[in-house]
Amino acid sequence: MLTTARMPADVSDTPLPDSPPGPLCPALLDLPGPQYPQYPAGPRPLRGQLELYLTEVGSQDDRSLLRAQELLDAQERARARAFRRPRDRDAYVIAHATLRALLSPLLGVPADELPLMREPCAGCGGPHGRPALRTSGVHFSLSHSGDLVLVALAGAPVGVDVEGVATVEAVRSAQCALHAAEVAELARLPAHERQAAFTRTWVRKEAYLKGLGTGLVRDPALDHVGTGPRPVSPSPDWSLRDVLVPAGYAAAVALRRE
């Protein structure tokens, strides 16, 4: 059954402080089954500096999946068909349809007619960089992992990332992607805390690099974001926050200061 998205009070209107006290909020958005309206009532302004939305792929029924597929463009549908596992395909479909459903009322444009584009690649300049809108004023970022989909909408460049907790082997093999200070911080932790610490470090890096628009073209080891409970912003021009998500995951959001 489809339900209407509900934003918790005062979340999006809360300024992002220079020294965040901890996670952004415990429940970003109750979005058990996103609506996919064909003709939105809009456009509408952003609700503050930042809007964050979280939904679970497993909460969607077959009817929702079919409607979600209708919103995708030809390229997105082809990408969805390329997934071998139905679970991965469904996650991709729900993630991209949810993004379209959230952008639609901001622009007052039907979700399947949004003016989406790809920016030039930060590495080679090719037409396969991060997704963006051809219209100015609204920035967005999308991430999905396992059963979770996380979307950010903002008036300035923004990046989000959500990941399942890394395996022990992943932590060992990805040391080269960490700043030297982060490697030292992890080494000082008890072994049973390193997976969670590494994962929150990694999502902070990904969120920041997605916000910059470089992705992993930029060496993630260049930026120190910290492994502890409070993120360290690698630049005074950016606010970096952890996002509290269900157990087994970590997430972060990076927003450029205006």
What span, in angstroms and rounded, lies between the C-alpha atoms of 189 and 173?
17
Position 111, amino acid: A
List, in order of start, the domains of the chain with CATH numbers. Answer: 1-13+27-155 (3.90.470.20), 161-258 (3.90.470.20)
**Structure-block tokens of residue 22:** 């901890």
For residues 29 and 52, is the Cβ–Cβ distance under 8 A? yes
Instruction: Quick: pLDDT tens for 90-99.
Output: 999 999 999 9
Torsion of CA 216, 220, 223, 225, to 10 degrees: 100
pLDDT at 118: 81
pTM for the whole structure = 0.83
List all residues 6 or more positions away from 125 whose beta carbon is below 8 Å from its beta carbon.
none
- Residue identified by tokens 């792929």 is 57
Report the pLDDT value the prediction gives residue 154, as an integer from 0 to 100: 93
Report how far apart, in Å, the C-alpha atoms of 76 and of each of 71, 72, 108, 116, 155 are.
9, 6, 21, 11, 25
What are the beta bridge partners of residue 253?
Answer: 160, 241
What is the structure's pLDDT at 40?
A: 56
Give the model's pLDDT for residue 12: 31
Alpha carbons 143 and 54: distance in angstroms, whole number? 10
Could you say which residues of the chain have pLDDT below 50? 1-34, 37, 39
Confidence (pLDDT) at 150: 94
pLDDT in tens, 176-233: 999 999 999 999 999 999 999 999 999 999 999 999 998 888 999 999 999 999 999 9
Report the C-alpha gap between 249 and 196 in whole angstroms: 9
